[in-house]
Structures are given as C-alpha cells and as structure tokens.
Structure 1
Amino acid sequence: MHRQRFVVLDGLRGIAAFAVIADHVPSDLVRALIPGRYLAVDFFFILSGFVLCHAYGARLKSEIRTFGFLRLRFIRLYPLYLLGLMLGALHLIYLSAAGYIQVTLSGLTAMTAISLLFLPVPSGVSGQDLLYPLNPPSWSLFSELIANLAYAALAPWLSLRLLLAVLAVSGVAVLHLIPSEPDLGAGWKLSDIHIGIARAMFGFFAGVAIYRARSVFTVPSVPVWLAVGLLALILCAPVPDAARRWFDAVACLVLMPFIILIVQNARAAGRIAKISTWLGLVSYGVYVLHEPIYFWLRSLSGFLGVSGPFEVIDYPLVVGVSALSAWLATRVFDRPMRERLARIGKSEGAKAG
C-alpha cells in the first residue's frame, strides 16, 4: 500500500534542525536573527506525533503493543544517537588528554554506560546539571520517548475525550511551568526535565490530534513559500524580553500546531520537492550530531591556532559540516544499522514464537 509522503513537512523539519544549531553555536548575529530557535523542538514534537500517528496509529490499536512500538522507535533513533554519543565521549577524552579538563576514567565510563542506555546522567556522576552531558541535544529524544511510551500505552483506548484530556493536562503544565523560566528554551537540564516532558507530551499529542482531524475535514494545499514563511516568522519574531515567555507559550500551544495543521497537504514538485526530501533526510542527523561536531571544530581551530576567523564563520561552518556529516552518516551508518537491528528483532521474535 502506498503511504503518503509529507514532503513539505520534511523540508520544514530540516529548516528547523538548522535553526536549532544557533542555540548551541555562540554566534550572536545568528541568535539575534533567530531568537525563537529553540521553538523548533516543539515543531519536532508536533510533527513526530503527526507522522507516527499516520504510520502506526491504526496498527497500535490491534497489531503492535507498547514494547513493540518502543522497539521500532529505538531502531529509528538509536544509531545516530549512538554516533553522536561516541563523538561526544571521544571529545571529552581528547580534552582530558590535552589537559584542558580533568575527568576520571570511572566518571567517563559511568557517563557513557548510562547514556548508552538512553538514560539521563545523574549529576552525581557527571558533576553537571545536563541530562546528556556527552551530547546535550539528546534531551529532546528522551522527552519524546516518554511521549511515545504514553502514546503506545494509551493508543487502544485513545478516544477523542481522552486525547483532549491529555492535551489539556500537558498544556496546563506548560503554562504553569513557563513563569519559572525567561523563555521556553528549557528541558535540557536535570533541574527542568519536567518542562521538557510537558513540551513533548503536548506537542506529540497535538500532532496526533491534527492527524486524526484529517478524517473530519480536509485542509487545502498551501504554497510552499507560505509554509516556510510561517515557520520563519515564529522562529525569527523579534519579541521583547518581557513578553518572551508568553509568546513562546502561544507558539508552543497554538502557533506551531497551526503550522502543521495548514501545511500538512502542501505540495512540492521538481527541485523544491528534491530539496525538501533531502532536508528531511538529513534533519535528524543534523540535530543529533551538530553539537559534538561543533565541539570538535572548536578544538581543531584551537589546535591550529585559528580563533578570530572562526568566531565569524562558526555557524555556517557547523551547518555545512553537520549537513554533510548527517548525509554521509545516514547513508553509511544509520540505514545499515537500522536494517540490522530490525533483522535482529525479527529473528528474536521468531525464536520467541
């Protein structure tokens, strides 16, 4: 059976991934141009709920159980997550060997072992408030997996009433928690993990609700320029600091879901379709690899004695290297490893049967 591809949404996901890089690469100019860059993560959560409901919603009611769905998500996410983790761990080893930081072998081993299990690293182990000190952007994957678990567990009974209840509770949680932060760029620390989970729960189930609404009404196609413009408008809006947290709340709870709602049936053809497909292909790799790549580029610039120029070109350089690395890693490492993990899963299932 032919499964519909949401090509324009793929393209927006890639654009959002490149926007997130500005949150981790200290380029004042780019950050000023994209002040709402961290809201791209909320876009990811909503799009994930939409796409996974499209791919597995019906099967979760009968064929696939909770553990089976989590196994599928693990297969999809783990290879590039592992690659990013290893790049981060190797960079920490380099910094220690070069005398820039002090890290014990036992501490590094513990951080790596815990991270290999896709679990947040306790501050008593890392000495930091980061959920994933070896590759900080991994926090959103953990939060999304929590939402995935909730979705799979609730799927057989996920009526409209229950879906609205989940959205109401998680939405109220976001509104309740946001006054404690200057903006919604939270969820990546152990101390604010609850904010990340609230964002993921609302976003993911909002995506599920939007997909389910397709059976009730059809949204007409919109031009690609409008789709890109709406996302750029939210990410780049010059909001005063005093209003930032409340703009972010509206963006998370209303504006980002609205984008997915009206863009879902947008069409692209020719070169635009190819670009959108490529952006979707590299989006996950860009997101999960860009920060360790940035770590290594900074260390390389220091080793070569290049400092001033790097401060000017750091963002475009990290974007370019991350895009190329994500494309290569997806083709050479991610796809083969996912296929192998899928075969292992089928083999184990056959033995168990």
Structure 2
Amino acid sequence: MIKSIEGVRGLAALLVALYHLKIGSDHFSLIRNGYLFVDLFFVLSGFVIAAAYGNSMRNTADLRAFILRRIGRLFPLLVFSTIVFVLGSNAIVLAKKLAIASGHAGVLNNPGALEYLVPSFGEILSTLTFTHALGIYDHLILNTPTWSISVEFYTYLLFAIVCMFLSGGARIVMLSLLSIAGLIISVWASVNLHNCIAEKGCLSLTYDFGLARSVHAFCLGALAFHSSRVLKINVTAVQITVSFGLFMLLALVDHVSVAAFVFPVAFAVMVLSLAKDSGPLADALKPALFQVLGQRSYSIYLMHMPLLLVFENLTKRANGLVSNVIILVAYVIVLYVISGWTYRFVESPLRDRFNRLAARVPVGAGSRSV
C-alpha cells in the first residue's frame, strides 16, 4: 500500500462530504468546488486498479474473479447506505407528522415536506445492478453520491476488457483514446447541455454523462501508473508545482468555469508524483489520521448523505460563526465514528467474503485484493 495514496483518498472523501454540508462554501473555494474531488477518486481508482490487475487479466476466469472482487468492494456498502438513507428519510417524515399532530409544526423548517420516500421497483433494480447513473433517470436517486459507484463499476469492466485484449503500447494507446473520448463527451455535455460556462459547475456530470467523466479520469489514473514505471521525475519539484497549481485552479474555477476540465489532469500528475511514496506532499499525507481516513474513505463517501438528513436541518438553524463551527466539527466527528462502524461491520467483512469467493476462481498470477 502506498501510504500517501491512501492519505489523499481519505482527504478527498472528507472534502466531498464537506461540499455537501455547504458550511464555509461562501468563503472557501475548496469546499465550494468540492464536487471536483470525485474526479480525484476516479484517478486514484485508475492508478490502483491498473497497479493491482493490469498484468493479471488474461482470460474470462480472471475477469470473473475481478468482477467478484469489485462487486465485493462496492455492493455491500452501496446497499447498506441506501437502505439507511431511505429509512432515515422516512423517519424524519414520520417525526414531522408527529410534530404537526401534537401542535408543534412551528418548530419545523419545512413542514410541507411530508411525503414518504418509497423507492420504485426500477430504482431498486437499477441500484442493485449499478445502472442508476447510466442515463436511465433525469435526476439523482436515493443515496445520491452512489451515482459515482454506478459509473465506476462499468468503467472497471471497460478497463478489464481492454487489459484482456491489449497489452504494452497498444493498451497505452487505447487508454489514451478512451480518456480523450471521455473528455470530449464531458466537455460537450457540460457546455451544451448543462450550460456550465454561464451557470458554472463544469464537469458536474452525474446521472446523465457521469460515465464519460469516470472513463476520462480513471484512464488518466491508469496512464499515471504506467508512466510511473518508466518516467523519472523530481518528485519534490512536481509535488510543489502541482500543489500550487491546484491552489490556483481552485481560485480560478469560480471565475473561469472551464478551468474545471483541468482538474483530472492535475490530479493525475499529483498521483504520479506520489507513486514512489516520497516527497513533501507524500510525507504530509502519511500521518495516522490521514491513513484512517483513507481506510474509511468509501464509508465516509457513502454514509455522509444519510448523516446529512440530520445535519442539513441543523445548518438551516445555525446563526453565526460559532454555531456553524460547532455543527461542522460535530458533523466531522460523527461521520468519522459512523464510517468506522460501517467499515468494521459492513464494508470490510463482506468485502473479505467476496474476495474469498474470488480466490476460488482460477486466475493468473499477480492479482491481489484492493
């Protein structure tokens, strides 16, 4: 395990969670544009998956084992977090109904929102098959951050197929073409369909063209891994440069929306510079706190939206700096604790069970669990 990669994964998960909380978004571009750190997740996935499986995808048996491991990594927590989100949403509606019935409607922020969340058969089926962000719906459904899990799963499959049929330079060319194609589609959809130049939010593609966004960034991550094996770089200079570049991009993207399209490339360069786990940025990401955040990153990412069912009501009531800071700190602490529980009791044991199933499939040498 590359500790700095683990650390940056945890930091990215926390930033996405803070982006949805919204506290500080008026003052800090890092939070206001936190949606862009989903692309860092895609880049990291491309790097890690290419490192773990790039040389072990030789036949259909390898592919089956790979799919089992990916399902084991994504599926259990996706289902669990979605169930928690639905139950939590309905618990809040029930509490509102009880408050109104007892004459306390005045304490509610939105007393009119009294409709229970009942997932349709299509929503359940598409969630269970990872297809809910493949253009089936014209909106995000249920536990909304799971859109990225949907597109990432099918990006995994695309990568596996490429690895089965291509190797060496041909694979590099194909990954490059796929990344370019994903970028072209992402730019077209952002500019022409989402009108992001005028309304901002370029690259904020989810339920409609999220797959193109995922393929673009994931393939950049895979290319970063391949580059790390042949390129010799001054990691200190690159890490300082890319850190400064990301800082400048965060300041620029509020005024020049199309700057958002540069972030996946900047993230790929950053991950490339961390490949040897050395340098000032790598050292900054190695402390134990970042390692724990990295370990729990998937749980942080999927459990923060159910938690927001409670905390978004608190943010509406917050008045002043002190109350906002208290809510922010409480949110982070509770999310940290909950993500520890779900990692220990849901994510890790069920992932290990799927990995044991995958181990029974005869695969080529060199594959490993991630």
TM-score after normalising by structure 2 = 0.77
CA displacement at 1:287 relative to structure 2? 0.8
Q: Does 1:155 align with 2:194?
A: no
Query: What CA deviation, in whole Å up to 9, does each residue of 1:239-295 have, x standing for no partner?
Result: 264412x1101223x212211122222336799443332221111111111111111
After superposition, the Cα gap between the structure-2 partners of 1:121 and 1:272, relative to the gap in structure 1 and judged at 3 Å, is closer
Query: What CA deviation, in whole Å up to 9, does each residue of 1:142-180 have, x standing for no partner?
Result: 111121111011112332222222122222222322313
CA displacement at 1:307 relative to structure 2? 5.4
Q: Does 1:282 align with 2:300?
A: no
Work out the CA distance in 2 between the residues paired with 1:81 and 1:148.
16
After superposition, the Cα gap between the structure-2 partners of 1:231 and 1:285, relative to the gap in structure 1 and judged at 3 Å, is farther
Work out the CA distance in 1 between the residues paired with 2:242 and 2:292.
15
Work out the CA distance in 1 between the residues paired with 2:133 and 2:180.
30
Could you tell me which residue of structure 1 aligns to residue 21 of structure 2? 25
Please state whether the residue corresponding to 2:139 is helix, strand or coil: coil
Higher helix share: 1
Could you tell me which residue of structure 2 aligns to residue 81 of structure 1? 78
Q: Does 1:188 align with 2:219?
A: no
After superposition, the Cα gap between the structure-2 partners of 1:43 and 1:290, relative to the gap in structure 1 and judged at 3 Å, is same
Could you tell me which residue of structure 2 aligns to residue 46 of structure 1? 43
Q: Does 1:256 align with 2:270?
A: no
CA displacement at 1:85 relative to structure 2? 0.8
> Which stretch of the first structure deviates more once superposed, 16-25 or 200-209?
16-25
Work out the CA distance in 1 between the residues paired with 2:228 and 2:345.
36
Query: What CA deviation, in whole Å up to 9, does each residue of 1:37-78 have, x standing for no partner?
Result: 111111110110000111111001358543432221110112
Which of 308, 325, 348 matches 2:338? 325
Could you tell me which residue of structure 2 aligns to residue 120 of structure 1? 132
After superposition, the Cα gap between the structure-2 partners of 1:282 and 1:176, relative to the gap in structure 1 and judged at 3 Å, is same
After superposition, the Cα gap between the structure-2 partners of 1:153 and 1:278, relative to the gap in structure 1 and judged at 3 Å, is same
Which of 3, 6, 17 matches 1:7? 3
Could you tell me which residue of structure 1 aligns to residue 308 of structure 2? 294
Over the aligned positions, Cα root-mean-square deviation in angstroms equals 3.3
Q: What is the identity, as a one-letter code, of the residue corresponding to 2:263? A: A
Could you tell me which residue of structure 1 aligns to residue 147 of structure 2? 139
Q: How many residues align?
A: 330
Work out the CA distance in 2 between the residues paired with 1:338 and 1:231.
37
After superposition, the Cα gap between the structure-2 partners of 1:228 and 1:328, relative to the gap in structure 1 and judged at 3 Å, is farther
Q: What is the identity, as a one-letter code, of the residue corresponding to 1:296? A: V
Could you tell me which residue of structure 1 aligns to residue 177 of structure 2? 165
Instruction: Give 5+ residue unaligned stretches, structure 1.
Output: none
Could you tell me which residue of structure 1 aligns to residue 88 of structure 2? 91
Q: What is the identity, as a one-letter code, of the residue corresponding to 1:184? A: C
Instruction: Give 5+ residue unaligned stretches, structure 2.
Output: 98-112, 363-370
After superposition, the Cα gap between the structure-2 partners of 1:238 and 1:154, relative to the gap in structure 1 and judged at 3 Å, is same
Work out the CA distance in 2 between the residues paired with 1:97 and 1:275.
38
The list of structure 1 runs, each at least 4 consecutive aligned residues, that deviate by more than 6 angstroms after superposition, is: 121-124
Q: What is the identity, as a one-letter code, of the residue corresponding to 1:22? A: L
| % identical aligned pairs | 22
Work out the CA distance in 2 between the residues paired with 1:224 and 1:330.
34
Asked whether the equivalents of residues 39 and 184 of structure 1 are also in contact (C-alpha less than 8 Å), the reply is: no
Which of 214, 220, 230 matches 1:200? 214
Q: What is the identity, as a one-letter code, of the residue corresponding to 1:341? A: F
Asked whether the equivalents of residues 14 and 301 of structure 2 are also in contact (C-alpha less than 8 Å), the reply is: yes
After superposition, the Cα gap between the structure-2 partners of 1:223 and 1:318, relative to the gap in structure 1 and judged at 3 Å, is farther
Work out the CA distance in 2 between the residues paired with 1:234 and 1:327.
34
Could you tell me which residue of structure 1 aligns to residue 236 of structure 2? 222
